[in-house]
Amino acid sequence: MSTTATSPAPTSPTSAPRGRTPRSDARRRARRREAVAGLLFVLPTLAIFVAFKFVPIAGAGAMSLTRYRLSGDVSFVGADNYTRLLADDAFWASLQVTLLYVVLFVPLILAVSLAAAALLDAQVRLSGTFRSLLFVPYLSSFVMAGIIWSWIFATDGPLNAAFDAVGAGPVPFLSGSQLLVLASLAVVSVWKGFGYSMLIFLAGLKAQPADVHEAARIDGAGAWQRFWRITFPMLRPVTFFILVIETIVGFQVFDTIYVMTGGGPNRVSHSLIYMLYDQGFKFFDYGYAAAVGIALFVIVLLLSLVQRRLVEGKEPA
């Protein structure tokens, strides 16, 4: 066996720095061109994001440091709005409402959308029809869903009529304890929103290699074992994405509450976004409303980072 020594390509010390060759320069230029082309491609989207996302966020941050009147008078008040926020019992109560709602809503929507996706993945006949049908609630408006579910949950509504028939009613779904009211609202939001997460889970399931499942089946693993030991772990990136998205959706709950309970009864469903709405658009206290918005932004950001750390920490090596 012989080896052939290959001499390095001749380089001119004056034409190129040490270690750089015309080929690597060309590659670098090509990469730079690709980067510029890529930047140009994303530039329109980036511009839209900057104009309609980042600038308003920065604007809200700036406004949270002011007292603003509709007449255009603005006075800088420093951190006064935040100091007031921290001392405001209503803020802490709304934060508690929001956290409790998120705790009820997020696991429920994950479970329902994953279960629906798993059923659709297993279903062969008419799966397209079922997929479309299950997605229909997502296309309906929150207001319409709220009105329909208000009727369903009413003391004299059909659900309580069914409970009455078995001697269990009436259940005060929208006027009872905080847990019951928020759980009822979470059910409506899950009904309305699970179609989106279901489709993402379904895409994740369809992308899983069949041979892994086949090997597990040959090895004697049951359906339940295959789901928990193979399917679900392989869905971790998808699950994380949905977890983050639905957590944000949970923190931003408004329309369902607005239509169904108006933040009541006795503020048991007065979420942070509802507080922001009240302060900004009922009381015209824009600076304070902006402070609520920024506080919510920070909370969601921190929570998303924690979620990411937790999920990444469990990623298989």
Partner 1 sequence: MTAPRTRHAIVAATASALALAACSGGGTGDDGQEVTLWMYPVIADQAASQEFWATAEADFEKAHPDVDLQIELQTFDKRDAQVSAALAAGSGPDLVLITPDQAATYQAIGGLLPVDEAVTDSRDAFYPAALDSATIGDELYGVPIFQNVFTTAYNTAVFEDAGLEPPRTWDDLRAAAPVLAKKGIAVMDYAGSPEQTLNLSFYPFLWQAGGHVFTDDGADVAFDSPEGVEALQLLVDLQREGALTPDAATDGPAVEGAPIARGEAAMRATTSLTEYGQLQAAVGDDSAALGLPLTDAEQVTYGNAGLLALTSINDESNRQAAYDVLGFMSTPDFQASLNAAAGNLPTRTDVAVDESDPAVASMAEALDLAYPGEPSPASRQVMAALAPTIQAALRGDMSAEEALAAAAEESRQILANTQP
CB of 156 to partner 1, least distance (A): 7
- Rounded CA-CA distance 5/290 in Å is 69
Kindly report the length of the chain. 317
- Rounded CA-CA distance 219/212 in Å is 11
Specify whether the CB–CB gap between 81 and 68 falls below 8 A.
Answer: no
Q: Which of 138, 200, 278, 307 binds partner 1 (CB under 8 A)?
A: 278
Q: Compose the 162-201 pattern: x for residues touching partner 1 by CB under 8 A, - for all others.
A: --------x-x-xx--------------------------
- The interface region with partner 1, picked from 5-13, 124-132, 243-251, 254-262 by CB under 8 A, is 254-262
CB of 146 to partner 1, least distance (A): 12
Closest CA to 109 of 193, 26, 40: 193
Q: Which of 13, 45, 71, 167 binds partner 1 (CB under 8 A)?
A: 71
CB of 295 to partner 1, least distance (A): 14
- The interface region with partner 1, picked from 13-21, 124-132, 153-161, 228-236 by CB under 8 A, is 153-161
Q: Does residue 276 belong to the site contacting partner 1 (CB under 8 A)?
A: yes
- Rounded CA-CA distance 221/7 in Å is 57
CB atoms inside a 10 Å sphere around CB 110:
19
User: How is residue 165 written in tokens?
Assistant: 């028939």
φ and ψ at residue 258, rounded to 5 degrees: -60, -45
- Rounded CA-CA distance 162/8 in Å is 85
- The interface region with partner 1, picked from 33-41, 62-70, 109-117, 120-128 by CB under 8 A, is 62-70
Specify whether the CB–CB gap between 279 and 289 falls below 8 A.
Answer: yes
Applying CB under 8 A, the residues found at the interface with partner 1 are: 52, 55-60, 62-63, 68-76, 84, 90, 151, 154-156, 170, 172, 174-175, 254, 258, 261-267, 270, 273, 276-278, 280-286, 289-290, 293
